[in-house]
Structure 1
Amino acid sequence: MSNPSFNLLKGKRGIIFGALNEQSIAWKVAERAHEEGATFTLTNAPIALRMGEINNLAEKCNAQVIPADATSLEDLENLFSQSMEILGGKIDFVLHSIGMSPNVRKGKHYTDTNYDFFHKTLDISALSFHKTMQTALKLDALNEWGSVVALSYIAAQRVFPDYNDMADAKSLLESIGRSFGYQLGVSKKVRVNTISQSPTMTTAGSGVKGFDGFISYADEMSPLGNAGAIDCANYCITMFSDLTKYVTMQNLFHDGGFSNTGVSQKVIDRFNG
């Protein structure tokens, strides 16, 4: 069933990072942005493009795919320049949906971190957000009242032991969102926010040890239950639209109420037997 369209993004141009397959939140954002009237380019790392099914999405959304390693300033410059050329003007919205930890992938415990891996985690999952905005600013690639959104997780604030060094990366990501949000607000009237999403069964999420347990626990703790990928996409669309012009430098929880729940009756009942 397709979503109702409100033409919220009619005439807007965007860049969407990180669509890998149909499970990806970025994939759902692209579908919804297309339904809401936006034109955009899609981008991912060359290796991810080989693994994923992004060309199917591109065809469906009438979008061009531009390979870019988000840690490379050269690739990012090419991405923004090409996108403006293809789309016929400056960019109105950017989705940063990127995260990867070699320590998680290799099963390294947080107390036995490989620091070369850790640098990679921070570069890919957080510094790439800074690099993206710095490049956009240098190229004067963003329209006034544009919107930049990155996806985060509550492990940036609270301990989830198996989330490992990704928790530190998400903390840095959120801080960059605030710091760069100030700069882009003052200079370009562009807003920058992070969305802290419920645990979601994506390719990235399922790489975390014990993720099924994470999801079930969060679902039982959240008054509304876990927010799904399509609902997260809808939230991103509202953040790209003119309905949220004065929301900036925020970390916005999209998690069914999990972040404000100390304990739920469901969870208590499990221990009362």
Structure 2
Amino acid sequence: MGNNLLKGKRGIIFGALNDMSIAWKVAERAVEEGAIITLSNTPLAVRMGTTNELAEKLNAKLIPADATSVTDLEQVFEQSMEVLGGKIDFVLHSIGMSPNVRKKRPYDDLDYDMLLTTLDISAISFHKMMQVAKKMDAINDYGSVVALSYMAAQRTVFGYNDMADAKSMLESIARSFGYIYGRERNVRVNTISQSPTVTTAGSGVKGMDGLLDFSERMSPLGNATAADCADYCVVMFSDLTRKVTMQNLLHDGGFSSMAMSYRAMEQYNKSFEEFKDENGKIIYG
């Protein structure tokens, strides 16, 4: 049951593919909290996914668009303001894709054309989105723009590949554009650095199962789920966070502050059991 945190607010949710998507959960929670929204994803994702079902369920207009296209983004904001009856109060950027990851190209053997595609889809689209919105004056004063990030933007994570570069750029864009948008229009811009989460996109990351288990053992509160992230996004869209901007907000159960946990150390020690001698001493190879 909602608390009307977003009552009377209008929003655009980019990136909902299916019910495993964080954006899907955010859309559901935003409407539950009283918002009216539109949904947007690429025409291909709309055909392949089940976003139409979400749009019908939430009574939300679905606007197919390529977020790397300025023209398409202009249509999304124009149609959204028309359908929703006014300027936008919040926007979620939940967009990320790496052809190098999909093609299993390692970080030291990247295809550079594919790297440019990764950066355009996963980060530069965020800049385009805000630049279009600002030029169209499409977002209300103290509106909130949120993009989903991951701690691989600051720390090396095995298998995350060139998506780490994209997330670093994404967070930099949030700070740089956040300053300008805040100064000129009172619009706040933040990123949320989410726990590893089981999504269709996340499943393509090498070693995802191990990463999920490791972060669960390391985090004192455990991994934050997609539903948990949706709750956090709702708070960031609400008037309760009117003075929060240009921040990368860590939402990972405490993982980012840990060096070693008891549970992770226990598992680490168990892995050596078969390599101990008769006196219990570890035999190093």
Superposition TM-score, scaled by structure 2 size: 0.94
Q: Does 1:232 align with 2:232?
A: no
Which residue, out of 7, 10, 16, partners 1:10? 7
The residue that corresponds to 1:113 in the other structure is 110
Separation in 2, partners of 1:123, 1:101: 10
% same residue: 69
The residue that corresponds to 1:59 in the other structure is 56
Q: Does 1:244 align with 2:241?
A: yes
Q: Which amino acid aligns with 1:153?
A: Y
Q: Which amino acid aligns with 1:95?
A: L
The residue that corresponds to 2:152 in the other structure is 155
1:268 is displaced (CA, Å) by 1.2
Separation in 2, partners of 1:200, 1:243: 26
Q: Which amino acid aligns with 1:167?
A: A
Q: Secondary structure at the match of 1:163?
A: coil
1:60 is displaced (CA, Å) by 1.0
Separation in 2, partners of 1:34, 1:200: 22
Q: What does residue range 17-28 of structure 1 map to in structure 2 within 5 Å?
A: 17-28=14-25
The residue that corresponds to 2:217 in the other structure is 220
Which residue, out of 248, 266, 270, partners 2:267? 270
The residue that corresponds to 1:202 in the other structure is 199
Q: Which amino acid aligns with 2:101?
A: V
1:258 is displaced (CA, Å) by 0.2
1:86 is displaced (CA, Å) by 0.6
Q: Does 1:73 align with 2:40?
A: no
Q: Which amino acid aligns with 2:64?
A: P
The residue that corresponds to 1:48 in the other structure is 45
Q: What does residue range 137-176 of structure 1 map to in structure 2 within 5 Å?
A: 137-176=134-173
Output the aligned Cα RMSD.
0.6
Separation in 1, partners of 2:39, 2:132: 17
The residue that corresponds to 2:86 in the other structure is 89
1:113 is displaced (CA, Å) by 0.3
Q: Which amino acid aligns with 1:45?
A: T
Q: Which amino acid aligns with 2:43?
A: P
Q: Secondary structure at the match of 2:64?
A: coil
Which residue, out of 248, 257, 260, partners 1:260? 257
Could you report, residue by residue, the CA deviation over 1:96-120 in whole angstroms, capped at 9, with x for unpaired residues?
0000000000000100000000000
Number of residues of Structure 1 aligned to a counterpart in Structure 2: 270
Could you report, residue by residue, the CA deviation over 1:112-155 in whole angstroms, capped at 9, with x for unpaired residues?
00000000000000000000000000000010010000000000
Separation in 1, partners of 2:217, 2:65: 39
Could you report, residue by residue, the CA deviation over 1:45-76 in whole angstroms, capped at 9, with x for unpaired residues?
11100111011101111100001100000000
Separation in 2, partners of 1:268, 1:199: 20
Pair member with larger Rg: 2
Q: Which amino acid aligns with 1:89?
A: G
Separation in 1, partners of 2:214, 2:169: 25
Q: Which amino acid aligns with 1:151?
A: L
Separation in 1, partners of 2:215, 2:83: 41
1:271 is displaced (CA, Å) by 2.8
The residue that corresponds to 2:34 in the other structure is 37
Superposition TM-score, scaled by structure 1 size: 0.98
Separation in 2, partners of 1:178, 1:95: 16
Gaps of 5+ in 2: 271-285
